[in-house]
Amino acid sequence: MQLLAEPGAQRPGPLSGMPVAVKDLIDVAGVPTRCGSAVLADAPPAREDAAVVARLRAAGAVVVAKTHTHEFAYGPTGDVAAEGPCRNPHDPQRITGGSSSGSAAAVAAGLVPLALGTDTGCSARTPAALCGVVGLKPARGALPTTGVFPLSETLDHVGLLGIDIDTVAVAFSALTGRRIDPSAPIADTAVGCPTDSYWRVHDPEIAAAVDRAANALSCAGAVLREVCLPGIDELAATYPVIVGAEAHTTHRRWLAQRPGDYQPATAARLQAAAALTTADYVTAQRTRRRLTAELTARMLAEGIDVLLLATTPLRATPIGARQVDAPDGTRVEVVPALLSLTLPFNLLGWPALSVPASDVDGLPAGIQVAAVRGGEQAVLAAGARIAAG
């Protein structure tokens, strides 16, 4: 984590005096944005704040540090970067999750109450889950991405990571001018519990935590219903095509000229994406748009307000591990697993929240709430009930 000196007098506002860390994918005036990569080792200082950082300062927040990121945000583990891996405060031999690795770790370690991250497929919610903090991916377009280095312009979101629901709610309200009240009642909220095999988790502790979260919502007056999301596998299959094609377009010149400056894992993913064709990309985007409309219409027709599920199917894995034996006895590929339960909501554009699970032995886990309707208010109000147990 790179500590910064905040110039000028403290500003009044809803975040007055709150120390905030910013992922090193997001511009902070006077500080280089290196994106966790040797490719940008000689990057000049940013000339101005990213739009979301400017809003933070206007609300009175104090930017105190830039934080570790998985290289160019192209990975969910947080252990691939020029600076080396980010380490989970709960077990330094395990990953934080990524790509907003340092932001989650800084909040979990008690260094700051709030941090900015990004979220293209999981990058705020997965590290929030693995580090035991709150992570919000707002609805698409809710927070501006101007001044944020792109991974996939179609799917990139700015995310918030905080020590608790109230901190994230206050920050989101300050950044958008939309008042969020997590204490608002959720009686009669229709909560969909997906039953498709796609949403399977590999850790019985996580499955039990989801059940406890469902009970907490039911006790608060919510109505639980089992739901299916037909086409979810087809929707998820568009993700690597869209992200791969857009990321390769951003990096193709550097990749051709300076491939050795990338971490090997990042270079391999970008080089593989070079094989994608224009037809692949256009087909994936058309499929995404069609299934977004179909799934949204289906959930609305069934009267569903929010979905309840796990954030990740696994808890934090050892640094560098790309396959693990899961508690359910299956051999699991770590990278796709850490993306699987979160990426649909980037494709759909719905807001989604990860809140720490209660009563989980050992490493943290996350419970995810995604809003079909009701926006960030709906997910934060539901998340508050889950956090209260």
Spot the catalytic one: 37, 101, 103, 123. 123
Tokens of 355: 């809140």
Active site residue 123: yes
Report H helices in 63-124: 101-108
Active site residue 99: yes
Residue reference for tokens 């500590």: 3
Spot the catalytic one: 37, 99, 103, 152. 99
Identify the burial level of 109 via C-beta atoms within 10 angstroms of its C-beta, where 0-12 means exposed, 13-18 middle and 19 or more buried. Answer: middle
Tokens of 189: 């909220």
> β-strand 114-119 against 19-23: which pairing, if any?
parallel
208 close to 47: Cβ distance less than 8 angstroms = no
144 close to 159: Cβ distance less than 8 angstroms = no
In order, the DSSP letters of 210-264 are HHHHHHHHHHTT-EEEEE--TTHHHHHHHHHHHHHHHHHHHHHHHHHH-GGGS-H
Buried b (16+ CB within 10 A) or exposed e, 293-317: eebeebbeeeebbbbbbbbbbbbbb
- Strand locations in the chain (E): 2-3, 19-23, 62-67, 114-119, 134-137, 157-162, 190-194, 223-227, 306-310, 323-325, 331-333, 352-356, 366-371
Q: Which amino acid is at 285?
A: Q
Identify the burial level of 135 via C-beta atoms within 10 angstroms of its C-beta, where 0-12 means exposed, 13-18 middle and 19 or more buried. Answer: buried
Taking the CA atoms of 134, 82, 264 and 88 in sequence, report the sign of the dihedral they define. negative
Torsion (CA) 234, 238, 239, 241 in degrees, nearest 10? 150
Q: Which amino acid is at 309?
A: L
DSSP category for residue 168: H
Active site residue 16: no
List, by residue number, the catalytic residues.
23, 99, 123
